[in-house]
Chains A and B, each alone.
Chain A
């Protein structure tokens, strides 16, 4: 029996991996087949000349450029809010928190990670309405609110990955800095964080993907169907996930639906580019660590 299990388990593991790989290939292939025909200059720039559109000299109507700019701005802003807060909280949990504090905070962050995004969106919307009524009428759903709500959504990923990456460092590495005279802060900054960087980077990559795909949060906090390229943090904006949702729900003909697939392909490309950027920054940090004084 045990021998049979010993043969079956690797087979099952291989089968599962292959199924997953096949699913990914199928989705990517399907998107390519359906979306590629729609991918042309008009899909992105509409009738506006590309250079004038890219330099923001002329507005783009009927093209995805505002949604592309909106998505990139949204993801970059959300991750920029979430990284410092998330990494700092992860460091606190791994390096400073007492057992009691951990016992209280660990489940709290787990619950936060499990919050449905529509609830986070609703919370962001409610806070904005409250601030609008009681503090400033200038505050309304906009890019800033969406990015803050998304940051709140992805914070648990960054906190958890930072905490785990630090906690899993072996004692020998943990003691290297102090053995050479490093203070606790120096040890965290100069030894532990650089060693934990790959783990933290995987949390950031997860966060990027989550920010780029989320529709529920942005629907309630500032994304609209037609707003043009966002000019400030307080502008409403267009975003690719919202466009994909909108088109797939409201399309009138196959050509219009194909633009949704095209938008999905562009969204995937943006995600890949942002993942690449995250890897590149990580490599850069590694190189800096190696740099000669």
Chain B
């Protein structure tokens, strides 16, 4: 039987007093791709932000309910007081709708999560950066210019770089908020292939507006409508 990786229980979220999620209760299967679909403003992106507590970086939000994630076989209540956020966010990676490389070199962008965690060994950094870039099929394109600014890459390359960066800490869950919406068809297909390959080692939640894409990659579809969860296939 499939094991659940994430469980939300009566999860409600309001932003500046406006209710965005209402009693959202569901489970997400481990090593599967779940697509979150629904009309604009239905709370899909906000739902993702509640799974790594990233909403707390912006003022005005309030949350009730519970989110449990299984790490190393044990269920963790991520909203438990004192729960280490930096560790949570390394295990629950996120890729945003618009590519958001930092204004630094390609190498440093990908190595950034490791540098944050205190890794300074150049050999280790170089090996992990190369591995992440290979995984997103970007290594061949950038290996000769790792010291160039990441901002000089094309949109598709930037998004793959951001996925590589999110993969570097070896997350167990990857949240992707419309990761292909700013890409052309070819780049989007490359990212889709990549996501399908990633589910061997990751649980993926993908917000998508494209039904064709959902059909191609998703093992399960969850529909959000007016902040409430409705199950799909």
Contact = CB atoms under 8 A, between A and B. Distances in A.
Contacts of B146: 292
Interface string B93-133: 11010101011110110011101110010100100000000
A293 B116 CA distance: 13
Contacts of B102: 176, 191, 194-195
B190 interface: no
Interface residues of A, number: 25
Contact of B103 (A175, A177, A179, A194): A194
Contacts of A178: 54, 57, 85, 89
A172 B169 contact: no
Contact of B149 (A182, A183, A186, A290): A290
Contacts of A183: 85-86, 116
Nearest to A187: B57
A286 B104 CA distance: 8
B147 interface: yes
A190 to B, nearest CB: 7
Nearest to A191: B102
B122 A293 contact: yes
Interface string A171-215: 111111111111100110011001100000000000000000000
Contacts of A186: 116
A291 interface: yes
Contacts of A176: 96, 100, 102
A25 to B, nearest CB: 35
A181 B54 contact: no
A289 B122 contact: no
B191 to A, nearest CB: 18
Interface string A267-293: 000000000000000000010011111
Contacts of A286: 103
Contacts of B44: none
B211 interface: no
Contacts of B52: 179
Given A179-B89, A181-B169, A289 B117 contact: no
Contacts, number: 85
Contact of B107 (A172, A173, A293): A293
B107 A292 contact: yes
Contact of B116 (A171, A182, A289, A292): A182
A290 B54 contact: no
Contact of A173 (B87, B100, B125): B100
A179 B167 CA distance: 12
A174 to B, nearest CB: 6
A175 B108 contact: no
Contacts of B169: 180-181
B107 A180 contact: no
B233 to A, nearest CB: 29
A177 B113 CA distance: 8
Contact of B165 (A175, A180, A292, A293): A180
B166 interface: yes
Contacts of B66: none
A291 B117 CA distance: 19
B68 interface: no
A122 to B, nearest CB: 40
Contacts of A292: 105, 107-108, 146-147
Contacts of B1: none
Given A289-B104, A292-B107, A174 B166 contact: no
B86 A293 contact: no
Contact of B111 (A177, A181, A293): A293
Contacts of B57: 171, 174-175, 178, 187
A8 to B, nearest CB: 37
Interface hub of B58, B100, B146, B169 (most chain A Cβ within 10 A): B100
Interface string A6-45: 0000000000000000000000000000000000000000
Interface of B: 52, 54, 57-58, 85-87, 89-90, 93-94, 96, 98, 100, 102-105, 107-108, 111-113, 115-117, 120, 122, 125, 146-147, 149, 165-166, 169
8 contacts: A179-B52, A180-B90, A180-B93, A180-B169, A181-B169, A187-B57, A194-B103, A289-B108
Given A178-B85, A180-B116, A292-B105, 12 more contacts: A172-B96, A176-B96, A176-B102, A180-B90, A183-B86, A194-B103, A286-B103, A289-B104, A290-B103, A293-B107, A293-B120, A293-B125
5 closest pairs, A vs B, by CB?
Answer: A181-B90, A180-B113, A179-B94, A292-B147, A181-B86
